Structure formats: C-alpha cells, structure tokens
Structure 1
C-alpha cells in the first residue's frame, strides 16, 4: 500500500517582500474573515497593507523570513522515516501543505497524484482543532482535490489534544527547564481566538484546556503553580483569556521566575521566536522579572513524532460509536465536543 501523508501548517513569508501577500492570504480566508468574497477581498487587502510594516519588523527579527517551512520539512522527514520503519505493510511519503504561503495545496496535489497513492492521510500540525486552522486546511485540500479530479481514499486525523505521546513530548521538554527551579510560574500560552468563535461551537479552547490538564497531571509536581493564557490578540473583537501579557506582568511583579510553554504550537515561528522570546521577555523585564525561561516548541521531539506516527498507522483500530464520527474522519479522542463532523 502506498500512502501519502499531508502535513498541514500555516506557513510564513520566505522574504520580506512576501510579508504583505502572506498576510493577504491569511485574512482572505473565509475561516478568518467570515464575509462574502466581494467584501472580504478588499478588506483583506486593506488589513494586510496596514499590518505589513509591523509584520516586516517582526520578520526582520527572524533574519528576513519565517523558519516554519524549514522546521516543518524536518518534522516531515522524521515522520516519514518513522512511518516506514514502523509499518512494513505500507510505503509512506510525506508532503507539506501550507495554508497561507508556499507550498500551497494546488501545487502539492499534483505531486501527490504523481505518487499514485492508495490512500491519502491528512494530518494537521495543529494538535487542537479550530475551524480557522485545521478546518480551513482540510476544506481547502478537499476543494483542490475536487477541482483537480483527484479521487482517492482519504482519511483525516482531525486533532490529538490528549494523545499520550503528545503529552509525553510536552512533559519531557518542560521537565528539562523546571527540574531545578523554585518559585516559578508555569504559563501555558496558546494562540488566542475571538470569543464569538467559541460561542459558535469552535472546540479549540476546550481542547487546549484538555491538553494542559493532561500535561499538568503528567508532570506530577506537588503544588505546581501554573496557568493557561492566550496570546497574539489582534483586532477589536473580544478574545478568550486571560491574556499572556497580563499574566506575565502580574507574576513578574510578584517576583516569580516566568516559564512559558507554547502549548498549541509545534513549530517555532514568529509567535514563539519574537512574541514570546523578545516582546514578552521585554515586558517581563520591565515589570521586575529577574528570570525568564521559554520551553521550546516540540519540533522533532521523539515522542511527538511517535504520536503522529501511531495516530496515522493505528487509525483503523479506533472505535467510533458516536454519530459525530463519520467513517472517513478518525478522531482518536472520542470527545463529545470533538469537531469530527462530516467535511464532505
């Protein structure tokens, strides 16, 4: 059996001149701006034009481009190697699809067709599902396949917020940083989301909470001082909270050693390397913080790669009794609030 694994990620500009078109692709996504196309297009143009100068400064801090494609390629190679070592009955090839920059689905679907797979497995690099991330990528892929007349058995791993190996991956990275610390505040930081998205049924916040709950349990640290917060708020809408910057200010003033965990990012990019490492550190320093530590994103952590490999290989073993789980969608969590609805 030949199996193509599609890794979904957001993507990032590969040079400063592409910052504005990257932002346009982001805001022109109906899952981000839920407006009719004739309104969304000019608004996306306006927002991307206004945000581009600030965003360019962020990417200048990163050397002029986003590292996310290179890091995703490393994850892709590690996963492909793991899959082919673990499953003797199949030949796996891993492909990367970025939602807002290259490589895009339109280009990758042609490469997948040339591979002639017996099955395609969609694997978002978003452990917790949101319509704006995994949902948008899955929909785009299926739309592009339909447009290109590419029909093949397709399975989807929608999310894996409490997968045991995913939790172990976080535990191992956190333990490395806190093992010898005292008087610290463990701050789990996830990308925020407008409250209205959650009210409409988006499960992202609830799934992030489940991840943090399981990670804290796995750490097994007596009287662990921890909190979940949300970062990267943009626009005038009310977002879920508490905000990471508010939590950092409060605990810096209390003299706590700040330890930040990017709990919803599995790759380093602008939100970790600039927002967490530079901007929030400056905020902490300004408010009296003497010690500031950031736990790295999972990257090619052995347990994280194993988590994805096992989810892909063993998906047929999961038992789906709930009507929310159609046969083509494989949710390993059996969450009542899981978004495994029919994407067809």
Structure 2
C-alpha cells in the first residue's frame, strides 16, 4: 500500500452464501452457519451430533435445490448485490475524495469476514476499519455474531487496526424512505391497496427465548414498521407484520408469515403485497421462501393476487443510504 492509499477501510458484512448451488457446497456452508453458538445455542455435544449425522445429510441437498432456483449468472443473489453495493459505494467515495476504500466480507462462507478483516490490516495496511453489517435491525444471532468474528480476527493478529462498529440502522430516515419508495413504486405499477388488499412486512424470525433474554430485535422491528407505515401514510389496519424462516420445535416470534397468509385468505383478503424490511439484499429467504414458497401457500389457501416487492439491493436509494451511514461515521471519527 502506498502513502496515497485510503486510510480507512469500510468493511461491508453480509450473512453469506454457498459457493455454488450444490449439496457438496452447501454442507460446509451450513455446518459453519449452524455451528455458530449465536445462531443455535443448544448443548454443543448434542447439537453437533444431530447436525452432522442428521441435519446436514438431509438439508444440504434440499437447500442446494432451493438455491438453484434463485442462482444468478454472477452467483448467489446476496453476494452479487453486496458486491454491487460495495463497487458503487467505492466509486462514490472516490468521486468525493473520501479517504477510504471498501471491502466485502461474509459472516459464513466466502470471502470469510475473519480473513478479509486480517488482510485489510496485514496486507493492505489500513489502520482503521469501519465495520458495517448489512442488518438494519440488531440481533444477537446476526449483528452480535459479526462482532464476535471481528474479535476473533483481532485475537489472531499481532497488531490490529482501530475499529468502529455500526450496530444498526433500523430507524435511519434514508432507510425508511427507501423502503417506502420501493413500495410506492410497486403500487404505481399495480395500483394502491383496496379494501380487500393487504401489505405484509415479513421479518426474519427468532426464538422467543432470545428476546426474553434481552435481544432488542422485536422492538427494533416494531419501530421500523411504525416508521414505515407513517412514511407511507398507509392505513395501519391494512399493514400486517409477520415473522418468517423459523426452524426447530422451539417457539419463535409470532405471528408466523405462513400462518398469517392462510388467515388473511380466510378473512376474504384477495391481494397480498409482501416486502422484507429486515433484509438489505435479496437472498434465498426472500426470493425463494417468500417469492415462491409463501406465494404457493397463499395460492393453495385460495388467495388471488400475490406480489413480492424486492429488497433495496444495489438501488440508488440503497447505495445512498450506505453512503450516508459511512460518511456520518467517518465524519465523527477523529484522526
């Protein structure tokens, strides 16, 4: 690194994806993900036995088939959109002569967050790292896990950089406006909500036990939902909040998205528009689980019109949001 190279590294973190949509690629990815004690905190001896002997052999082929349905030419959607955000952010910062460069790391899979963090300092010579997990709402199973990985990386380094960590952005004005504009753009195409129409805000779920133990996630979800409804000027009775992606037998946050769509059909609702505000970029859990699986659940229950509204991805509003967050942090980070 030359003396003119950027001084601060911006490290964008996302959850991660397998290298390819195959069972052989899914197995190590799922093993790393499901071995994280922040994600599953059951007795490790019991859980690792169950994971390696039962869950991975069964789930890997099934997950591979699901990923194959959403795989893009450039790779997994989550990684593709995260890389695009990084490229656009880097260009904007360069145009403004901001003394920073942008890197991407994945909490699970490649490129490994731990390895990227170490390389930023050891190989590229940056002495400051601004870590931005692309999780709008804080959660112990996502944001805190990223923080754990940063600590792990620093434990493996003889010298490590100064670090600033962005905890969440669930009420950021540009985040709320970007979501609202995404919904408005959709409504401009298909028409506003009628009396028998609903907007569903589907967030990733988590075990209720985590919340009882102090995780602020559901409170931040509610805050995001309230601000979004206000920004839209929508009738609150036509907006439904739900939780998706549960697994296991433990009770998770309710109402569940799949149960909710069945109830809505039973109430005579004819059209359902769904957006996932807890995901910055589209991924398996949005495109496949909501756009395909939840749509099928809706149709089998007798529902009529179903629309999935994409995440912010690498849109102009998305990049402007990330740019604003980064510039604000850098502005308040003394030399």
8 Å contact from structure 1 (residues 27, 48) kept in 2: no
Q: 1:61 aligns with which of 42, 62, 69?
A: 69
In structure 1, what is the equivalent of residue 17 of structure 2? 12
Cα displacement (A) at 1:37: 5.1
8 Å contact from structure 1 (residues 230, 241) kept in 2: yes
TM-score of the superposed pair, with normalisation by structure 2: 0.88
- Helix, strand or coil: the match of 2:158? coil
Cα displacement (A) at 1:144: 1.0
In structure 2, what is the equivalent of residue 229 of structure 1? 242
In structure 2, what is the equivalent of residue 297 of structure 1? 311
In structure 1, what is the equivalent of residue 226 of structure 2? 213
- Helix, strand or coil: the match of 1:276? helix
> How does 1:159-308 map onto structure 2 within 5 Å?
159-179=168-188, 180-181=191-192, 182=194, 183-222=196-235, 225-253=238-266, 254-308=268-322
Q: 2:114 aligns with which of 87, 106, 116?
A: 106
- What number of residue pairs does the alignment pair up? 318
In structure 1, what is the equivalent of residue 3 of structure 2? none
8 Å contact from structure 2 (residues 114, 152) kept in 1: no
Q: 1:2 aligns with which of 4, 7, 11?
A: 7
- Helix, strand or coil: the match of 1:268? coil
In structure 2, what is the equivalent of residue 123 of structure 1? 132
8 Å contact from structure 1 (residues 166, 307) kept in 2: yes
8 Å contact from structure 1 (residues 9, 124) kept in 2: yes
8 Å contact from structure 1 (residues 120, 153) kept in 2: yes
In the alignment, the residues of structure 2 paired with residue 74 and residue 293 of structure 1 have an alpha-carbon distance, to the nearest angstrom, of 25
8 Å contact from structure 2 (residues 17, 79) kept in 1: yes
Where does the alignment leave 5 or more consecutive residues of structure 1 unmatched?
Answer: 319-326, 329-344
Where does the alignment leave 5 or more consecutive residues of structure 2 unmatched?
Answer: 1-5
In structure 1, what is the equivalent of residue 167 of structure 2? 158
Cα displacement (A) at 1:39: 4.8
